[in-house]
A and B are shown apart, each in its own frame.
Chain A
Amino acid sequence: MDVSHLSIREINSLFTKKEIKPSELYSKVFENAANSEAALHAHLTLFEEENIKKAAEADKRFSNSESASLLDGIPIAIKDNINIKNYKTTCSSKMLSNYTSPYDATVIEKLKQQNTLFTGKTNLDEFAMGSSTENSAFGLTKNPWNTDYVPGGSSGGSAASVGARSSIAALGSDTGGSIRQPASFCGLVGFKPTYGTVSRFGLVAFASSLDQIGPITKTVDDSRIIFSSISGEDSRDATSVINNQLDIPSDNTATIGVIKELMEDGISGEAKNEVNKVIEILKSKGYKVKEISIPIIKLSISIYYLIAPAECSANLARFDGVRYGLRVDGNTSYEMMENTRAEGFGAEVKRRILLGTYALSAGYYDEYYGKALQARKEMIDEFAKTFKDVDYLISPTTPTQAFKSGEKTSNPLEMYMSDLCTIPANLAGLPAISIPTGLSKDELPLGVQIMSKPLSDNSLLDFSEIIENEVQFDGQPKGWL
């Protein structure tokens, strides 16, 4: 029996009823990976052998009715910028191609406690910098719906893995849309929780004030299950917060705001149609929907491309060939560091380090980084004001459907624009989710994004589930399954 298309709760129920064993599902996802990996390249490493024993242990727990966790025996793929002890963490960079982590990220510790089975490490844009998973030192990942197209990025490997059912769910990281955009491109749910609710300890930092780990799943409920397992205050992450969830209404007493600035130029008709389709459904169910305007959203990309590179210029300074990772020799230690960084980093990473270094330089700080911080603060204030009037904000997740591989690689600015709708949630620390709602005329998935105020993640998931049930998106990528 193939259950790889089912949700976590459905699978758990079958495990509990002993209708299928975890090890059978485990074999099935690796069979799926074997069928799709050559064409998609979702994974950098697959752990099949290592975890067979763990799958057998899961079998035993269910056969003895000793399992207490919804995630017990569920095969999950992990983006390769999250550390799993004794496994490689490459961040898809030549710099870390030989690096093995000696410790577990907090999210990994938590999933291990739930007896999750890790299937492998997924491909990403190098150090999570990119929107197409084309910036990987180890080859690009393709969209399971159509291999001419990108899966999105930077968590493109995670999305492709779940899309091809090589895993039941996956963890990604989202700095400017890196979970939501690939989820949308691959017809999946992608959830970026409130900044600070999920520990970043063990996530290789790109831009620390924006990075957040979250799930890519087939259903909203799957995201809810994973979020509740990986969230919580962590004494090892000073930016983590106590997950005291606000309760806001998800039923039709809620008010929905449509962000005017994300329904204008630069957004395709198809993307707008999906939003309008959902608005009509909500209206018909009695929700109050109104258009709102947050003009500063138009500055999102400018703000983001100062703050994220500035932080990354310092975060990536540690990769110097001294203690671990790639080392390219030189005549002096400084020459060694220069040679290592010149050879170890790809073009996009270098571009952002240079951009960030420049933005922080004496004489330019006030003009660039300082102004970006100020604008970011204004944006946070604007969102706070908006959430006094509305409970949820709706917009497209991406301006267009997935684009073709190679289409935007020569034009970084155009590539950056594909994160227009997702970046604001990172800048403001909001929870945001992408839900698949339909297909484009090219038969590629489209999604809508819902945002809500910080620490209302659970309500956001409840509300999203209502939309999910109403929309009844049942598209499946063909050919792999």
Chain B
Amino acid sequence: MLKIENLNAGYGDVQVLWDVNMEINEGEVVALVGSNGAGKTTLLYTISGLIKPKSGSIKFLGQEIAGLPSEDIVNLGISQVPQGRRLFAGMTVKENIMMGAYHRNDKEKIKEDFDFVLELFPRMKERLNQAAGSLSGGEQQMCAVARGLMAAPKLLMIDELSLGLAPLVVETIYEAIERVIARGATVLIVEQDVLLALEQANRAYVLDVGKVILSGSSQELMDNPMIKEVYMGI
């Protein structure tokens, strides 16, 4: 579904990603793990078109999307729940969620999806007319995931969902995401919490200082002594 080859990208003169190769198949849940500053968010921004790559190729459903403007990439079916949630703080929860469907015109399907995300996150139903900035951290993350889902993505990318949230809240949100996955969604999960990510995913890539240093099935990585030592502290 998504095929990244020899991708180089960064900010201005600072190169962050070095010859990154990665592949996500339809229906798969893939984790991208790595420590702070490894380039995970940069990779997601490049896929979403917020950053123009220096070189390399990103193919989505066979089409080259490297360098396309972000609105075209959303239209093709890639949606992102960005790190730090990035909600529109002054807008209501409902307005935020509906912004996810901004590029869509299929009114009835939008209504269906809206009902679905409210069912996934019943807490959002109670908060619909509240300003998003007034929500708790966990609620904001629910709102951000709901917004990401409203794009009706073929590929959903979630960046650092667990960051700064209580474990119980993280669990609740991942349970909702599991329901989305059960419906056949393709998901890319980016996490610093390696164990958490590997539990969710079929396969994983390990990014370190902008390079993919390891990849394999989640089980393989969990058994890998280096991963155990460096990322799980076992």
Does B associate with A? no
Interface positions of A (Cβ within 8 A of B): none
